[in-house]
């Protein structure tokens, strides 16, 4: 809770930076503030902060603290990657405050106790991203991305509100505990099930589950590279924490009414995402379809319905591994895109001229593909382990086949980096420089992915709820 308060105050401070003429200091202040929020999070472990004004709306128990810590660490790594995005002094105040408030929304989503706070968390997370997606004002693709994201996000919000209203009609309360008690009763009104399905559709939009994924490739491609990285990491982690709390805990009494729907959404997502990714030449569109596939695999934990720490640990570890791999990949692509563009061909020759970038990219792709020994491999292993003790273990076969297909398009990026071109490599990457900050970032991310793969239990002991 204290971490949420710190980041909220940090967002307010960033808005006042222009008034006090400290715009140049807002970036380091944001870094320091997030580090402080992370430290405060650790002090609340097993010592939940209680405040009578908010206890019925949000509660930062150990589960929420674990997810919020992953979100804050991801945000810190993202800020290191996105430094150049904040070098535009004219917009630094707006950009910083929007990012911080989006993070506030994400933290609310991991700790909500009421359907009202769920809605507020979704909107506070999403609205800044609509603006950030369109922040490259002179780029028509960026404008299109912001517009599409706004329209589709509003559509999802309408479903969410309607679903919440129907559940309120059944339970007479927005409190999740009272909703769960109501769902435990027999002879529920039919509109109650309709409300749950509408909330499922809304959350499926947020995490890009097919067939509610159509906005994702266009928005990922049109948005600035760093904003695409933000959407693919922080949004996914926060949204899946909310999905877990809703569909694996609060709505559990009527689990059978939606589990088959989720299973079919997973199958459709795995097929569409992986087959579509094979034909992509734009790296951001490829990673967009990759994110749809990973969202489907994370959804497997919901239908596994293993109501123990096994599912919680698996989801938390997966969010961690996926976020770090994506930050690494987008950090490399952002550096290359400044001089070479965003296509797969822009990576050709990278291994010969910029081996450090190539090495970091290889580690990220191996992890996303789930190849041993990597963080991504154990992330999928934990998910499949949870699914093995459920009636839906047959979906493991579908997920494994999809993972095999995904190896091909991840290797496309790796192979491209080792391909020679007609142009001399030095001329090809002339002017492409790597700052010390970027070297540190890529080193940290690569080491985290390798360490998480070699010593998964040690990393799990740090980041997972026991």
Tell the residue number behind the tokens 């959407």, with chain if given: 231
Tell me: cis bond preceding 405? Omega within 30 of 0 counts. Answer: no
Partnered with residue 112 across adjacent β-strands are: 58
Tell the residue number behind the tokens 């995490």, with chain if given: 207
Q: What is the pLDDT of residues 365-382, one digit of tens each?
A: 999 988 888 888 888 988
What confidence tier does 267 reach under pLDDT thresholds 50, 70, 90? Answer: very high
What confidence tier does 463 reach under pLDDT thresholds 50, 70, 90? Answer: very low
Tell me how crowded residue 433 is: count the other CB atoms within 10 A of its CB: 10
How many angstroms separate the Cα of 271 from the Cα of each of 90, 240, 267, 320, 327? 44, 20, 6, 24, 25
Report whether 229 contacts 330 (CB < 8 A). Answer: yes
User: CB within 8 A of 137, min separation 6: which ones?
Assistant: 143
Q: What is the pLDDT of residues 26-81, one digit of tens each?
A: 888 888 989 998 888 888 777 766 666 677 788 888 888 888 989 999 999 999 88
Task: Identify the sign of the CA torsion 107, 111, 117, 123.
Answer: positive
Average pLDDT over residues 239-251: 90
**Encoding tokens for residue 150?**
């706004």
Closest CA to 293 of 145, 393, 408: 408
By percentage, how much of the chain surpasses pLDDT 70?
Answer: 93
Tell me how crowded residue 416 is: count the other CB atoms within 10 A of its CB: 21
Q: What is the pTM of this model?
A: 0.92
């Amino acid at each position: 809770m204290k971490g949420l308060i710190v980041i909220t105050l940090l967002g307010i401070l960033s808005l006042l930076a222009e008034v006090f003429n400290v715009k140049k200091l807002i970036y380091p202040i944001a870094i320091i503030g997030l580090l402080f929020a992370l430290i405060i999070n650790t002090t609340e472990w097993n010592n939940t902060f209680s405040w009578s004004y908010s206890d019925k709306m949000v509660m930062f128990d150990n589960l929420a603290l674990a997810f919020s810590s992953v979100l804050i660490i991801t945000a810190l790594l993202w800020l290191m990657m996105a430094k150049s995005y904040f070098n535009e002094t004219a917009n630094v105040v707006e950009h910083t405050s929007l990012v911080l408030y989006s993070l506030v929304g994400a933290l609310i989503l991991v700790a909500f106790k009421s359907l009202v706070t769920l809605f507020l968390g979704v909107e506070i997370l999403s609205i800044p991203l609509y603006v950030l997606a369109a922040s490259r004002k002179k780029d028509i693709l960026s404008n299109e991305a912001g517009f599409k994201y706004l329209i589709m996000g509003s559509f999802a919000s309408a479903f969410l509100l309607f679903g919440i209203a129907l559940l309120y009609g059944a339970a007479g309360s927005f409190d999740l505990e009272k909703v769960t008690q109501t769902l435990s009763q027999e002879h529920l009104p039919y509109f109650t099930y309709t409300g749950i399905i509408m909330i499922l559709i809304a959350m499926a939009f947020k995490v890009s589950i097919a067939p509610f994924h159509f906005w994702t490739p266009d928005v990922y491609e049109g948005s600035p590279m760093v904003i695409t990285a933000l959407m693919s990491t922080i949004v996914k982690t926060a949204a899946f924490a909310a999905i877990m709390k809703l569909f694996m805990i609060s709505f559990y009494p009527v689990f059978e009414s939606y589990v088959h729907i989720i299973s079919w959404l997973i199958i459709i997502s795995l097929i569409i995402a992986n087959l579509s990714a094979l034909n992509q030449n734009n790296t951001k569109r490829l990673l967009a379809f990759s994110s749809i596939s990973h969202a489907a695999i994370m959804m497997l934990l919901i239908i596994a319905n293993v109501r123990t720490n096994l599912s919680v640990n698996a989801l938390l570890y997966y969010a961690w591994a996926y976020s770090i791999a994506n930050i690494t990949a987008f950090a490399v692509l952002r550096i290359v895109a400044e001089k070479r563009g965003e296509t797969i061909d822009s990576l050709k020759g990278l291994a010969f001229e910029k081996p450090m970038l190539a090495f970091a990219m290889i580690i990220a792709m191996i992890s996303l593909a789930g190849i041993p020994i990597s963080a991504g491999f154990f992330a999928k292993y934990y998910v499949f382990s949870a699914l093995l003790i459920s009636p839906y273990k047959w979906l493991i076969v579908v997920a494994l086949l999809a993972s095999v297909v995904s190896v091909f398009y991840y290797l496309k990026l790796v192979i491209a980096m080792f391909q020679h071109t007609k142009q001399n490599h030095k001329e090809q990457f002339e002017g492409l420089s790597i700052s010390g900050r970027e070297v540190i970032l890529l080193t940290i991310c690569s080491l985290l992915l390798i360490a998480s793969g070699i010593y998964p239990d040690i990393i799990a002991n740090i980041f997972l709820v026991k």
